[in-house]
Amino acid sequence: MTSTKTRIAGFDFDNCLMNAAGVACMTIAELEAVKDSAAGTFVTKTATLDFRAGNPEPRYQDVPLGSINSMGLPNQGLDYYLDYLLELQEREPSRTFFLSLVGMSPEETHTILKKVEASDFQGITELNLSCPNVPGKPQIAYDFETTERILKEVFAYFTKPLGIKLPPYFDIVHFDQAAAVFNQFPLAFVNCVNSIGNGLYIEDESVVIRPKNGFGGIGGQYIKPTALANVHAFYQRLNPEIQIIGTGGVLTGRDAFEHILCGASMVQVGTTLHKEGVAAFERITAELKAIMEEKGYESLEDFRGKLQYIEE
Ligand code: SIN
């Protein structure tokens, strides 16, 4: 029997596909729809301590080869997501879900993480170090010193499974430097990648989103090669205990297959989910299974990380 089951941070999931934070995860109704789909789990919209309205609209635009967004971290505030997850873990004790979060300052990040640590939440936490869309706030994980300091402070008190959402890196030296930082910590996973920050999409003579004069994070087909490179670069460099979640450019089962071949243990769907709705999970799963069957692979372990190189 071909299976797309996977395991992250010691938790089992029936399917390796889930939403990417930011898509179909702002409200409980959206999260329930992902939960009840073919997805193996869901991640919430990145929560800040308090409700945020985010950037002015229009702030998300689907475009032919992907999407551009400058949402600015709109969300309902930590308590909304945490209360729901606590209720859900009573209702569905056999399943595990992800809570995404970040503070508007390092201090706020610690306040949030300490609340999660003190709560009964038994799921997986994803610390978003890569939002490109809050004016005046650079993507944290491009600053290795700050990232190292925050992780050092976090792991002094946070004992629950924790991973980080990363921006794409574009230089081999940066892969090396970032991995040297991440390998110092008991991270459950790194999630590669968030959108490619600060692209511009133009129709006729105008940008298509209002915030930041049109600059926004790029997702979808545009970013798959960058996402695969990041997944594989970290798969090669990180301690084996740190798993990889692959995100970026997943339209088809073939795209999910490539993420797993590069080393991903879980694959997130963002732009395609926004364009197609939760039915995308069933379609992509069926396509992935068909590829596995054709190749004689029964489980993800049969091909995870086994990307072939061209020898000299
Ligand atoms: C946003 O809310 O601006 C998108 C979130 C992200 O890219 O991390």
Residue 45 CA to ligand 1 centre (angstroms): 9
Cα 153 versus chain centre, distance: 22
Q: What is the DSSP string of 105-156?
A: SHHHHHHHHHHHHHS---SEEEEE-----STT---GGG-HHHHHHHHHHHTT
Q: Is 188 helix (H, G, I), strand (E, B) or coil?
A: coil
Structure confidence by residue, pLDDT tens digits, 209-252: 999 999 999 999 999 999 999 999 999 999 999 999 999 999 99
Say how many C-beta atoms besides its own lie within 10 A of residue 184's C-beta. Answer: 12
pLDDT for 312 equals 84
Q: Any residues with Cβ below 6 Å from ligand 1, and which?
A: 22, 46, 71-73, 128, 130-133, 194-195, 217
pLDDT exceeds cutoff 90 at 114: yes
Q: Please report the atom of ligand 1 found closest to the CA of residue 73.
A: 2
Write the residue with the smallest CA distance to atom 8 of ligand 1: 131
Indicate if 16 belongs to the active site.
no
Say how many C-beta atoms besides its own lie within 10 A of residue 17's C-beta. Answer: 26
Residue 24 CA to ligand 1 centre (angstroms): 13
Token pair 């930590």 is found at 78
Structure confidence by residue, pLDDT tens digits, 263-298: 999 999 999 999 999 999 999 999 999 999 999 999
Residue whose C-alpha is closest to residue 283's, from 65, 15, 25, 64: 15
Q: Is 266 helix (H, G, I), strand (E, B) or coil?
A: strand
Residue 76 — very low, low, confident or very high, per pLDDT cuts 50/70/90? very high
Name the burial class of residue 294, with classes exposed (0-12), middle (13-18) and buried (19+) by CB atoms within 10 angstroms of its CB: exposed
Helices (H), 130-252: 144-154, 172-182, 224-237
Write the residue with the smallest CA distance to atom 6 of ligand 1: 131
Q: What integer best gives the mean pLDDT of the chain?
A: 98
Contact predicate 223/169, CB 8 Å: no
Annotated binding residue 70: yes
Structure confidence by residue, pLDDT tens digits, 150-159: 999 999 999 9
Token pair 């990417």 is found at 20
Q: Please report the atom of ligand 1 found closest to the CA of residue 75.
A: 2
Annotated binding residue 113: no
Q: Which domains does the chain have, with CATH numbers?
A: 6-54+72-195+221-302 (3.20.20.70)
Residue 285 CA to ligand 1 centre (angstroms): 26
